[in-house]
């Protein structure tokens, strides 16, 4: 098995994709809107992916946050609110806000587990600041670290109680970035004190989570040349050190324009500096092939972390009444306007 997470191009695997995944046996897959039609089709695609990789325990990821980042949408799936809608309940009652964030994630987990999807790229723990690029914006639970860490924890609990593993993102924080890392490399000039007292707080508070996704962001207070994804200093001293994160660390998408150099070079830099898995999302074979070619197997520490996640996926889910949960969530969201 290789430390790779790949996407595919359509609703079913092509013969070329199936052969490619069989050859390289990625640790997981990620689904996007281009991969989604009906529930039966998604379930069939997930099973095809696992069979191709000969890996029944493969991680199957999706970005199902709610709001503008939702790969599953009506008419087959419920429309979920943006994270900021849960934050809007906080001034009314923090406990109700937490309950709503939990219920939203618990319902999402119910959607995903029925499809064979076992990992959601949620919660977003970034804390936006005034003037920051809107790539985070209302995907954040709020502009206060206290709100973000509390509601992020509630959402993570909701996913896990539904049998789905959360990914905290974008560690150590994308909220201060003045550029969208899909399009350019953001550079954050804030001091260590400012970062520790604001941006890093939610990630430190949720350092016990099973998975995290890096930010393609340079933090000059720690490393003036390399984004967090490829910075040994940030990964070792901040993510693994200050934040105490000991789960599976994956990079954000290797195809994003924040990164430069060859795809094999991006892969090697992320793995060498401390990422456990690398993620490539767009399903383009001419990009996936150089990432997979010559890629080593999963390193022993990463394999141990990954095994903990796969083992946790097998745990029994807590009882759940979907109708009751939906009614309660709707009532709470109405209170927040």
Q: What is the CATH number of the domain that holds 324?
A: 3.20.20.300
Helix (H, G, I), strand (E, B) or coil at 212: strand
Q: What secondary structure letter does DSSP report for 120?
A: E
Helix (H, G, I), strand (E, B) or coil at 277: strand
pLDDT digits (tens, 9 = 90+) for 257-284: 889 999 999 999 999 999 999 999 999 9
pLDDT of res. 316: 66
Q: Across the strands, what pairs with 62?
A: 31, 120
pLDDT of res. 288: 97
Q: What secondary structure letter does DSSP report for 124?
A: B
pLDDT of res. 251: 97
Closest Cα partner for 111 from 327, 336, 325?
A: 325
What pTM was computed for the model? 0.96
Could you give the residue numbers annotated as active site? 182, 252
pLDDT of res. 148: 98
Pick out the chain residues at pLDDT < 70.
316
| Helices within the chain (DSSP H only) | 15-24, 39-52, 83-87, 94-113, 145-161, 192-194, 201-205, 232-233, 263-272, 285-292, 300-313, 322-336
Domain count, the chain: 1
CA distance 157 to 99: 11
Q: What is the DSSP string of 136-205?
A: TGGGSS-SSHHHHHHHHHHHHHHHHHTT-EEEEEEET--TT-SS-TTTS--EE---HHHIIIIITHHHHH
Cis ω for the linkage preceding 127 (within 30 of 0): no
CA distance 250 to 163: 20
pLDDT digits (tens, 9 = 90+) for 14-68: 999 999 999 999 999 999 999 999 999 999 999 999 999 999 999 999 999 999 9
Closest Cα partner for 53 from 33, 24, 85?
A: 24
Q: Domain range for residue 210?
A: 2-336
């Amino acid at each position: 098995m290789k430390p790779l997470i790949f996407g595919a191009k359509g609703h079913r695997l092509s013969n070329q994709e199936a052969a490619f995944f069989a050859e390289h046996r990625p640790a997981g897959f990620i689904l996007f809107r281009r991969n989604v039609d009906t529930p039966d089709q998604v379930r069939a695609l997930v099973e095809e992916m696992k069979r191709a990789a000969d890996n029944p325990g493969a991680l199957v990821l999706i970005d199902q946050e709610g709001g503008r980042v939702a790969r599953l949408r009506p008419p087959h799936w419920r429309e979920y609110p943006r994270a900021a809608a849960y934050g809007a309940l906080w001034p009314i009652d923090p406990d109700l806000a937490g309950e709503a964030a939990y219920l939203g994630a618990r319902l999402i987990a119910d959607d995903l587990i029925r499809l064979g999807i076992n990992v959601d790229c949620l919660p977003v723990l970034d804390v936006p600041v005034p003037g920051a690029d809107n790539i985070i914006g209302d995907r954040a639970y709020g502009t206060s670290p206290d709100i973000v860490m509390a509601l992020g924890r509630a959402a993570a609990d909701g996913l896990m109680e539904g049998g789905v593993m959360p990914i905290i993102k974008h560690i150590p924080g994308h909220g201060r970035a003045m550029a969208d890392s899909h399009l350019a490399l953001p550079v954050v000039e804030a001091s260590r004190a400012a970062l520790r007292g604001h941006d890093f707080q939610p990630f430190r508070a949720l350092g016990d989570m099973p998975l995290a996704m890096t930010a393609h962001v340079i933090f000059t207070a720690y490393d003036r040349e390399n984004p967090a994804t490829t910075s040994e200093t940030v990964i070792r001293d901040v993510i693994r050190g200050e934040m105490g994160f000991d789960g599976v660390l994956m990079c954000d998408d290797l195809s994003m324009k924040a990164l430069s150099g060859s795809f094999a070079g991006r892969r090697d830099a992320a793995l060498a500096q401390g990422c456990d898995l690398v993620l490539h999302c767009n399903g383009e074979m001419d990009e996936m092939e150089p990432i997979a070619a010559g890629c080593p197997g999963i390193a022993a520490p990463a394999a141990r972390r990954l095994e903990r996640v796969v083992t946790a996926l097998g745990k029994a889910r807590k009882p759940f009444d979907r109708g009751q949960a939906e009614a309660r969530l709707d009532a709470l969201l109405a209170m927040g306007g």
